[in-house]
Amino acid sequence: MARDVSDTTPIGSRDDLVAYLEAGCKPKDAWRIGTEHEKIPFYTADMAPVPYEGERGVRRLLEGMQGLLGWEPIMEDDHPIGLYDVTGGGAISLEPGGQFELSGAPLETVHQTCCELHAHLAQVKEIARPLGIGFLALGMSPKWTREETPVMPKSRYGIMRRYMPEVGSLGLDMMFRTATVQVNLDFGSEADMVKKLRVALALQPLATALFANSPFTAGRPNGFLSMRSHIWLDTDRDRTGMLPFAFEDGMGFERYVDWALDVPMYFVKRDDTYHDVAGASFRDLLAGRLPQLPGERATMSDWANHLSTLFPEVRLKRFLEMRGSDGGPTGMLCAEPAFWVGLLYDEDCLTAAWDVVKGWSAADRQALREAAPRLGLAATIAGRSLAEIGREVLAIARTGLARRGRLNADGRDETHFLAPLDRIAGEGRTLAEDLLARYEGPWQGSVDPVFSEYAY
């Protein structure tokens, strides 16, 4: 999230929280695609991480991007921590360890979001190359320890850094060493939201397997194909996971609100100050009895900011956010929105995808969630491998994209963006397995070649 929401409207009741989510409902002709991706900067001369300060640091990279794009800076104290396009709605932000994130504008087609991605990468390279900076196209930094990883000057991350060790053993690795690609998609009604949420949650482990691209940690294989995904299993279970309640009768905006209210808070922001209330209850803030801020009552910005600190595999805000995929090469970054748009933006394809997953139990889904990071496409559910399921689901997504009929200037529809996933599912072999084969073969037990072969 590039910047915290500022809306001082007081919250009168729980109904206001439900109405906030419900306001995300849009007619189909207003549905958009917002693609986000993170990339890990490094110095090309010695493969070292890039600190915030310094003549060739992340701050200088942000300042250069501001000069190139003319976007509005996002400041914290005297530190630029991001950029915002006030016209188009896109943004650039920093993750805790310096991961450089593009939060794409809401666009109509996969063609547009992929063009946006390529334009961004060309722009950031123009600024980064004179600074001697490159970017890894991986789901996790492959070489540096957590202690060697830089820390960005963002107050909310300081609060999270203090709190994470209290609620899981891998939360700091999530913050400082991982990178993802995500797509944000719209819904038309509460019923449409629920159906999309269920399909997306059930199939998120498939996305984890298809996009698995983080097999190295601290210079060696870590035993997983998607270590990034595995890390989320022991980050903070209060706010992560597969949301089994979403598949129960009565699921809707109210049920998600009730879950969110029971997730402990991280912070309350007043003016430019982040107040550390980690572990506190949003219900207490609603009632004006938060011990850390006596008498302070919740505003809509508090609610929006709280929702942004929930990390389930699919997150509901005023849109749905797919969160299961590792970052990767440019073709994979474009494949992420194509995959989910093909499944979720066509009603018949959404129903066909639901038919694939509707017989899975909560225990089945959780077991698959836990197996996919290690086994990738070899993980199984209901007697079927994810490779087999992936081929079936990709066929559904292809149908959905073809039926949309969104053509580019060359007359091509959006289906060609699925090609990298077709290859992976067809071969049953992930990017991570390709990396491991290189490590054991031509790379001779070194991860250093990823800095040239898997970099933007």
The pLDDT-based confidence of 157 (bands split at 50, 70, 90) is very high
Residue 95 has pLDDT above 60, yes or no: yes
In order, the DSSP letters of 345-382 are SSHHHHHHHHHHHTT--HHHHHHHHHHHHHHGGG-EET
d(CA 11, CA 397): 40
Q: Phi then psi for 76, rounded to 5 degrees?
A: -135, 115
What's 107's DSSP letter?
A: B
Contact of 207 with 344, CB cutoff 8 Å: no
Structure tokens at 26: 């849009």
pLDDT in tens, 337-356: 999 999 999 999 999 999 99
The pLDDT-based confidence of 435 (bands split at 50, 70, 90) is very high
Residue type, 27: P
pLDDT in tens, 246-296: 999 999 999 999 999 999 999 999 999 999 999 999 999 999 999 999 999
CA atoms within 13 A on the CB side of 122: 6
Residues in the chain: 456
Residue 24's pLDDT is what? 98
Residue 3's pLDDT is what? 60
Q: What is the mean pLDDT of residues 226-248?
A: 98
Residue 7's pLDDT is what? 87
Handedness of CA 281, 284, 288, 291 (dihedral sign): negative
Which value, to the nearest 10 degrees, does the dihedral of the CA atoms of residues 297, 300, 301, 305 take? 100
Contact of 330 with 117, CB cutoff 8 Å: yes
d(CA 27, CA 274): 36
pTM for this structure?
0.97
Q: What is the mean pLDDT of residues 375-389?
A: 98
Residue 1 has pLDDT above 70, yes or no: no
Structure tokens at 281: 């209850």
